[in-house]
A and B are shown apart, each in its own frame.
Chain A
Amino acid sequence: MNERSNKTSISKMIESKSSQQGMKKAAEGLMPKFFLICAVISILTTVGIVLTLIFETFSFLEVVGISEFLLSTEWYPLHGDPSYGVWPLIMGTLMIAVIAMIIAIPIGLACAIFLSEYASDKTRRTIKPVLEVLAGIPTIVYGFFALTFVTPLLQNIIPDLSIYNALSPGIVVGVMIIPMVASLSEDAMSAVPQSMREGAFALGSTRFEVAMKVVLPAALSGIIASFVLAVSRAIGETMIVTVAGGANPTMDFDVTSAVQTMTAYIVQVSLGDAGYGTTEYYSIYAVGMTLFVFTLLMNILAQFISKRFREAY
């Protein structure tokens, strides 16, 4: 009796189960395809970026010519007889990047050494999130800060500093990437095994000697990679240099006068009313292409350094 009712209920269960089976099978087959499509979209994004840049850059080069773009050292697209030599924009960009790195490398690395080698666990857990706040502030806020606070402050020290200059946005870009250098370098230093530090301590080293002679060399590949990534970030930074750097593409390497970076030029044209199809419109793609190539090379270099020169323990 009991056995029998059990059997019927089981067969009922099996029946109801198999009626759901169709739905389930469909989901089982469809979901992986859906997820694959999602993953492919990320590839399509890259393909889209590359194709967009290549096609529109070609439209630009048909008019301007690659020799003028790469060899001329004058950039005045709005002139009656325009000249499109990209070097002033590249130099402006590199100038900002160099100033930023002069600020970010020593301070960021010092933060990393402090957090990884000196700070107690509790201090580290308090300071790291605060540094992350610094990294999470929108760049337009930094731009505002550079223009309305840092530039007037610097004008007190350097009286002939113009309102738009390379120095102030360079410093502020540096401040913006301190957390990046600090956090990535700290990760690299924390990955150095404790036993190596203890060995050095046992030989009578001070903390500073352990940091400099044991941890730093062991973590060097990760630290250098963090510098390269930071440079890439500084090159691609847009709003700070647009707001505080000015719009003056020159090659004179004067940090107290206005400059223009590649990113700032792209924004300047977008804000103006350059019509679709004009040479000026296409020029932002050529500049964007140059920018993309620069940052891509930097990112690949960083990956190469951290893989190739990693010390494995």
Chain B
Amino acid sequence: MKVVGDTTTNVQTNKKTANISGRQLKNKLFKGLFVAATGLSLLVLIVLLVRIFTQGIGHLSWDYLTSFPSRRPEDAGIYSAFIGTIWMMAVTAPVAFVLGVGTAIYLEEYAPKNKFTDLIQMNISNLAGVPSVVFGLLGLTIFVRELSLGRSVLAGGLTMALLILPIIVVASQEAIRSVPAELKEASFAMGATKWQTTYRIVLPAAIPGILTGNILALSRAIGETAPLIMIGALTYVAFLPENIMSQFTVMPIQIFNWTSRPQTEFHDVAAAGIIILLVMLLVMNSIAVWIRNKFQKQL
């Protein structure tokens, strides 16, 4: 019996060895397939960027940046939407920063290990998965109607702040967690209190990571369209916001408006707007990466 068993194994081994070139061929084939898939996704990115750039570059000019939208495509500009985006960011950035970093400090430094803390943590990861249009419904009901803020910059900015809150909390938590425990222990050993340690040791060490997370979250907010359509940011605005209670529009909504027009000339105008939007995102992301690389080595 044993002998028979051995022979079968031998035959199998022989078969395997004989097939080694086949197996290596299979390996090479699939490697090619995997490379091709990766290349394909990079190719889509390139096609998308090239297409939008060639379509929109003709419309890009100083006039485009400083003109209000118009019924005639050749006169249409993105001025009010650009300024509207900056107004909204001026509300979103501080609110989201304070709430997000505050939550992260609480969870990492103060929170006791109990059910309530687990609930907050679980809640944050679930909030991150809620579709942005649902945040729009929340903003419409709570900010626009219940708190009677109207379709204002304030209502839009607060809605966006809640939308990006989970991203900021998670990024800030990671940054705070990566501060070495020895630094904190040294501070406590010198008699510093909890808040002194947090304020003077933990936050300065974690601030590059926190800033990176915040900038990336804001760049998400700049590109969001749906929640602001929900709260009723206007699609055609030929004026600038005067204060945080003014009506407004933002760049993605203006781009959406131009894209959904039947005249294809407006598509070129939309492409020009997209170039501006992408350049803004590129600048913000570059700053984030720069901060991360510059301060990463120091810890």
Contact = CB atoms under 8 A, between A and B. Distances in A.
Given A35-B105, A42-B123, A53 B137 contact: yes
Interface stretch (A81-89, A141-149, A194-202): A141-149
Interface string B241-273: 000000000001001100110001001001100
A140 B38 contact: no
A23 to B, nearest CB: 11
B94 interface: no
A52 B106 contact: no
Given A207-B31, A296-B126, A178 B41 contact: yes
Interface in B92-135: 98-100, 102-103, 105-107, 109-111, 119-120, 123-127, 129-135
Give the interface centre of A114, A140, A296 by most chain B CB atoms within 10 Å.
A140
A127 B38 contact: yes
B130 to A, nearest CB: 7
B137 A31 contact: no
Nearest to A267: B229
B10 interface: no
Interface stretch (B60-68, B69-77, B219-227): B219-227
Contact of B134 (A35, A136, A291): A291
Interface string A120-162: 0000000101110110111111111101110000000000000
Interface stretch (A1-9, A43-51, A69-77): A43-51
A144 B223 contact: no
B195 A31 contact: yes
B291 interface: no
B274 interface: yes
A41 B278 contact: no
A284 interface: yes
A41 B34 CA distance: 44
Contact of B34 (A34, A118, A149, A179): A118
Contacts of B278: 137, 141
Contacts of A149: 47-48, 51
A31 B45 CA distance: 46
A141 B52 contact: yes
Place the interface of chain A in its size category: 35 or more
Contact of B277 (A35, A42, A141): A141
A78 interface: no
Contacts of B129: 229, 232, 295-296, 298-299
A291 B277 contact: no
Contacts of A242: 226, 256
Given A110-B34, A114-B37, A114-B38, A270 B229 contact: yes
Contact of B99 (A38, A114, A137, A209): A38
Contacts of B229: 267, 270-271
B187 interface: no
A101 interface: no
Nearest to B101: A38
Given A28-B194, A145-B48, A147-B259, A267 B120 contact: no
Interface string B24-53: 101100110111111011101101100110
Contact of B260 (A136, A243, A270): A243
A138 B55 CA distance: 18
Contacts of A175: 41, 44
28 contacts: A24-B195, A31-B198, A35-B103, A36-B110, A39-B106, A41-B103, A45-B165, A49-B130, A49-B134, A52-B142, A53-B134, A110-B37, A111-B34, A113-B34, A131-B42, A136-B219, A139-B223, A140-B223, A144-B52, A148-B55, A149-B51, A206-B26, A207-B31, A239-B256, A266-B230, A267-B226, A271-B229, A292-B134
